[in-house]
Amino acid sequence: MPEADERDEKQFHPEIPATSAGFFLKGASGYDWGMRNRLARIFDPESGHTVMLAIDHGYFQGPTSGLERVDLSIVPISVHADALMLTRGMLRSTVPADYQHGIVMRASGGPSILKDLSNERIALDMEDAARMNVHAVAVQVFVGGEHETQSIENMTRLVDVGYRLGIPVLGVTAVGRELVRDARYLGLATRICAELGAQFVKTYYCEDGFEKVTAGCPVPVVMAGGKKLAELDALTMARNAVDQGAAGVDMGRNIFQSEAPAAMIQAVRKVVHEGARPEEAFDYYRELAGKSPAAP
């Protein structure tokens, strides 16, 4: 039994009302504590933004260039990511269990690049996600695709179990070759993901009207990287996306296929977390990569 506490002076501070503020992320104030805590392991509470490093490509296209040896190419730079987006196979086989940053786990899959990619199923039991202590799961949603309804059902099933376990779901808007990546389509796809329960959504950037995509989505939007661009172009795209309302980026090839991946991810952080202009971040990239400054 603890001794009785008989002190008269207690630190209740009745003159200071307890704060009942919401949460720093859009749309997240009403979530349970565990779900908000997990989101705060992906999004930096100070900047409100995230730099996720996507390395899950192998789940449908095998050993992608830059990911042939994740232990050699990714593990050393993973400290610069707010969260790694990857499969459970790669996590368990290759990522040290003392990794301290966020984990966003690929939870859908099935078809390879040789088949119709929209024909995905849930590929992860949420109990296993909880066992791996992940901070969110990611599911592909193929709005307009052949298996649109199936992919949306994959997401809603994960959302249902996610609420029971406190694990957020990232809806990833997959754009088939036949679909146009304009603000109208991306606005449709992101909004559907949010309406049906995704706690955050990943989508591509579009030059015209991206601010309408982010404004029309009631939960945070993270920008997908897409195919490899020149470093300055990728940094410019990230700057534009964040300026137009994105809560961060989830980039893969534009980081791990860069000539200097460690330098590139740190330059992306400068843009996303510190508000750097693309040219400033590009100079930083060149400096870290041991290159001479860019010509004025």
Q: Residues in the site for ligand R5P, rule: CB under 6 A?
A: 54, 56-57, 172, 174, 224-226, 251-254
Amino acid at 207: E
Q: At what angle do helices 278-288 and 231-243 cross, to 10 degrees?
A: 140
**C-alpha–C-alpha distance, residues 51 and 252, integer Å:** 11
Phi-psi region of 133 (alpha: psi -120 to 50; beta: other; left: phi over 0): left
H helix runs in the chain, sequence order: 33-42, 58-61, 70-73, 88-94, 126-131, 148-165, 183-195, 210-215, 231-243, 253-256, 261-274, 278-288
Neighbours of 96 (CB within 10 A): 9
202 is a catalytic site residue: yes
Which has the closest alpha carbon to 221: 196, 186, 254, 253?
186
Q: Which structure tokens are listed for 64? A: 């992608």
Contact between 271 and 51 under an 8 Å Cβ cutoff? The reply is no
Q: What is the largest CA-CA distance in the chain?
A: 74
Catalytic residues: 202
